[in-house]
Amino acid sequence: MDVKPRLPRGRQFFANPGPTNIPDSILKAVAHVSIDFNDPAFLKVYDAAVAGVKRILKTQHEVFLYTGSGHAAWEAALVNLFSAGDVLLVPETGHFSDSWGKMAKDFGLGVRTLAADWRRGIDFAELRGVLAADSGHAIKAICAVHNETATGMVLPLAEIRAALDATDHPALLLADTISSLGSMEFAMDAWGVDVAVGGSQKGLMLPTGMSFTGVSPKGMAAHAGSTLPKSYLNWTNMLTRRHKSFIGTVPTSLFYGLEESIRLLEEEGLDEVFDRHARLGEAVRRCVRHWSGNNGPSLFCLSPDRYSNSVTAVLMPEGHDAEAVRRIALQTFNVSLGGGLSRLGGKVFRIGHLGDLNEPMILGTLSTVEMALRLAGVPHTPGGVNAAIAYLAEVAQGS
Ligand SMILES: *Cc1c(COP(=O)(O)O)cnc(C)c1O
């Protein structure tokens, strides 16, 4: 069926899992005139923002920041910690664990994958087995993607820490919290994470272009012995600078935005922020479950204890193209959904429900997806939005 594109009018509903909606107060904050990055007025903002990032990461350790998206922080973690031939263990989660692993291979590191069904996630008994069998401690680190943005599944980091502890394995624990930080519980120090990788444009609601790593003392010790070539991203070089980060110009405007982002998150309270994401995520899942009747689209994630509260991947029924649904949502109704990544291209679409988002925004998005399903001729049980409405009203009444 042909659906006529329309000129975009009204506010675009942006339901991508990253970048995310930027609140007006952050947009105003980043619109700051240029300022010398050594100006005392800026240094005050800078130091407060870095302290805020530590509170959000729940860490007392060192934090290094980069002008670059999340991939830059991935790269910083690898080149600062390892030497050619070091072996890393990558629990398979989906597109993002594959990409981080591929980057490690590009740097001459050995990558062992703990294979998993993308719809179910890894088996922790298998992880313990692999660690126990590695009595020579060839594995130098585990690179774990906390929230797999491609599939909408969480990898429980505390259980990875427990597997390392139970087997007395000294491997570093690296955690990608790019799409979980500021939307789901993350506790770097309590979970014994050695290097936490975060980015600006997801839960922190900032423009793209800044990323960071928290680094434990054990991580800093590994850094001291690392011989992979590095310069711009070298932590030792960064520590000689006033900002303890950034070899070149500091992206000052992003720090004015970061100051406001932290203010917003802490004004609401991190636990409240996580609760909001949990209820919006559950509303989306109830809606999708309703649609799934009549051979409709269904939840890609098949492990209910690992549902992501920041993104839901929706699996299309066999023979139907997710891109057709996305195209109608965007071109006719001005709603931007996430697409399927790598092997999930065309098979899933993703509803991002993280960042600056409330009930009406998510209900508007779900209503639009249902219209697009109808227009694209995709079978489904109509009325999924009612399941979301009923749930969200019930939760509001109980609070
Ligand atoms: C977005 C994302 C990345 C990549 O970050 P960029 O900022 O796009 O470079 C890495 N890991 C996860 C889990 C992500 O969601």
Per residue in 103-145, pLDDT (tens digit) is 999 999 999 999 999 999 999 999 999 999 999 999 999 999 9
Per CATH, which fold does 32-267 belong to?
Aspartate Aminotransferase; domain 2 (3.40.640)
Q: Which atom of ligand 1 is nearest to the CA of 208?
A: 7
Stretch (H or E) spanning 14: strand 13-15
CATH 3.90.1150.10 fits 13-21+270-398, yes or no: yes
Contact criterion met (CB below 8 Å) for 280 and 396: no
Backbone angles phi, psi at 351, to 5 degrees: -105, 115
In this predicted model, what pLDDT tens digit does every residue of 53-103 receive, in sequence order?
999 999 999 999 999 999 999 999 999 999 999 999 999 999 999 999 999
β-pairing verdict for 172-176 and 195-199? parallel
- The reply to whether domains 13-21+270-398 and 32-267 share a CATH topology is no
Q: Are the CB atoms for 240 and 218 separated by under 8 Å?
A: no
Distance of CA 379 from the midpoint of ligand 1 (Å)? 32
Instruction: Give the global pTM.
Output: 0.97
Q: Return the percent helix, strand and coil in the chain, to nearest 5.
A: 45, 15, 40
Distance 182 CA to ligand 1 centre (A): 14
Establish how many alpha carbons lie within 13 A of residue 282's alpha carbon, considering only the half-sphere containing its beta carbon: 14
The set of protein residues with a Cβ atom below 6 angstroms from ligand 1 is 18, 69-71, 96, 145, 147, 149, 176, 178-179, 199
Q: How far apart are CA 117 and CA 94, in angstroms?
A: 9
Give the burial class of 300: count Cβ atoms within 10 A of its Cβ; 0-12 exposed, 13-18 middle, 19 or more buried.
Answer: buried
User: What is the atom index within ligand 1 of the atom nearest the CA of 72?
Assistant: 9
Q: 70 C-alpha to center of ligand 1: Å?
A: 5
By alpha-carbon position, which residue is closest to atom 5 of ligand 1?
70
In the chain, where are the structural domains located? 13-21+270-398, 32-267
Q: Is 161 annotated as a binding residue?
A: no
User: How far is ligand 1, taken at its centre, from the CA of residue 294, in Å?
Assistant: 35
Q: Which residues pair with 145 in a beta bridge?
A: 176
Q: Across all residues in the chain, what is the average pLDDT?
A: 97
| pLDDT tens per residue across span 142-172 | 999 999 999 999 999 999 999 999 999 999 9
Cα 306–chain centre separation: 14
